[in-house]
Amino acid sequence: MLRSWLVTVSCAVALCCTVTGVLALGRSAWGRARAQDLAATPEPAPRPVRLYGRNDPLLPVRLDAHVALTWGGSMGVGGRVDFPLISGTFRYSSRDELALSVGGDVTFISFRGTQHTEVFPALALQWSLGVSDRFYFFPEFGFSAHVISGAWDGVHATIGFGARYYLRRSLSLQGKLGWPMALSVGATF
């Protein structure tokens, strides 16, 4: 009985030593292979230093001036100020931006033969998606009030889809299709 017990303990010790040796060999072999992989990987090239980016704005806000056309056949002018809430910090693209857009449109030319002025103050959330360094696509959603010749007409949902093409650092051409403004074309600064 003592003899079988000694054989069992000896076998267990031998098995433990074998497993420990294999694991140690595997770890050291893996460590050598990993060290060789790291040594074979070249150092990344240093990034060039930029004084400013192509589309880095000159101002902390984006100014927008445009000509607007409504679905009802009125034409006028408008402007917006976009306040960036989140800029360049999205994981999938450093060119994306989430901004709060405040402004409005005033239409005073009617193609329907009526003479009235319409005012559309607007507040929208705009998400600019950088397709390239110069081209951005943006959807926007928000609210717009509607005043016709001084009479309150209510608050409406605003939806728009547009594009912005940068010509220079902060100068871009912009076009947008949406509701209540059918089409607006202008420039941002």
In tens, the pLDDT along 158-179 reads 999 999 999 987 899 999 999 9
Burial (0-12, 13-18, 19+ Cβ within 10 Å), 73: middle
CA dihedral (166, 167, 168, 171) positive or negative: negative
Residue 48 phi, psi (nearest 5): -70, 150
pLDDT band at 51 (very low <50, low <70, confident <90, very high): very low
| Single-letter amino acid code for the residue at 79 | G
Find where tokens 């009985």 sit.
1
Its pTM stands at 0.66
pLDDT band at 11 (very low <50, low <70, confident <90, very high): low
Q: What is the chain's mean pLDDT, rounded?
A: 79
Write down how long the chain is: 189
Find where tokens 């056949």 sit.
73
The answer on pLDDT for 112 being more than 80 is yes
Report d(CA 99, CA 125) in Å as an integer: 6
Nearest Cα residue to 127 out of 164, 159, 88, 99: 99
